[in-house]
Chains A and B, each alone.
Chain A
């Protein structure tokens, strides 16, 4: 199908984006890579009156290693995340996003703002305790990833705010595992293991409305328990729902296996 008509604004600065979104009064949308937004428009599941194209705003495409983390500009495409060598977990996760022709367009800021619980970057953001820098009418603020994701496709961002960059802490050990029925599909279950400041974090995607921390599994590991025990704990503590793609017991079984694999990659047994 074709999109409903909209007014198109090609923004030259972040300030302009915030201003236009404010004037649109909740009826405006940011157009970045378009890999999630344009299908929604084409299916007419949304009909915003204004689209603000952020693709030509300078200064949002940098990947910068900083102390113990990397800062990724909102417009960094997934294909560049795959190629960068500063943050191996992020590079591995990005290879699982869609297909080449999607990774060349999709952006880091866009994927996080879209907040699909089955998408890779939100799980990595929550799993590494990422900090999201957001610009709004009152200037910039920083939001921890776990406070950003509110529900499926919903964030704590205001209508006139825009993500400008994401700071992903560098884990000392990490693992990533994903299961989907077909190559390039959204995940049925994703597991991210990241050791940050000496603590192992276990985070799952696809098993709830937001990326879910497996805190029981983390407690098992902190108490000296085995990876197998942690995987069992993770599978028991999550509350997945059944749908066309899998029943609850199936999702629990897959979750246990993905946690086991991610822990194995991280060298945690």
Chain B
């Protein structure tokens, strides 16, 4: 099936089998291997991407369902010259990662939280990030990093496209 979506602002046309998940389409058909696949059944959160501005588990959505959508992946976080996003800087600074496998999903969840609830307290940050499993850090560094990124971004414009289309898509 031929489908078209936008990934990080660029148009992508791919021909996929209906059973191809969005995660596999991003990795295999678009070559965007920054989105990681852990459990492949919606438990670990490693494959979290933004679809029309909302975080989704890319292993629980078929690529054909994303036809016409606008998708943001971890690759979309980098600046024009490849520089790290302030949230990524904060993860480096505060030991928000060790092996890095869960990090793309963590960053996409964190990004959505920063954009929608820039004043979230530690308890909210912890609750929101609980949809992503990390087996290295023990989570303290991740919560610290999101909190630090809040401060770094305070007063700046939202960092990612903030399209809110709910319900019908």
Binding site for B on A (CB under 8 A): 1-8, 10, 31, 34-35, 38-39, 41-43, 51, 53, 55-56, 58, 61, 75-77, 79-80, 98-102, 104-105, 182-184
Contact = CB atoms under 8 A, between A and B. Distances in A.
Given A38-B42, A100-B109, A77 B65 contact: no
Contacts of A56: 168-169
Given A10-B64, A42-B40, A55-B65, A104 B55 contact: yes
A64 to B, nearest CB: 13
Interface in B23-59: 24, 40-43, 45, 48, 54-57, 59
A43 B54 CA distance: 26
Contacts of B40: 1-2, 42
Contacts of B128: 99-100
Interface residues of B, number: 32
Interface of B is mostly: loop
B131 A99 contact: yes
Contacts of A5: 17-19
B18 A35 contact: no
B42 A102 contact: yes
A22 B167 CA distance: 27
Given A42-B41, A58-B168, A99-B131, A6 B18 contact: yes
B130 interface: yes
A73 B146 CA distance: 35
Interface of A is mostly: loop
A99 B1 contact: no
B167 A39 contact: no
A76 B54 CA distance: 15
Contacts of B62: 8, 31, 34, 38
Contacts of A35: 42, 57, 60
B99 interface: no
A182 B139 CA distance: 14
A105 B57 CA distance: 9
Given A75-B168, A184-B131, A4 B19 contact: yes
Given A75-B168, A79-B166, A98-B131, A38 B19 contact: no
A105 B60 contact: yes
A3 B19 contact: yes
A156 B62 CA distance: 28
A2 B59 CA distance: 10
Given A58-B168, A101-B48, A105-B57, A39 B42 contact: yes
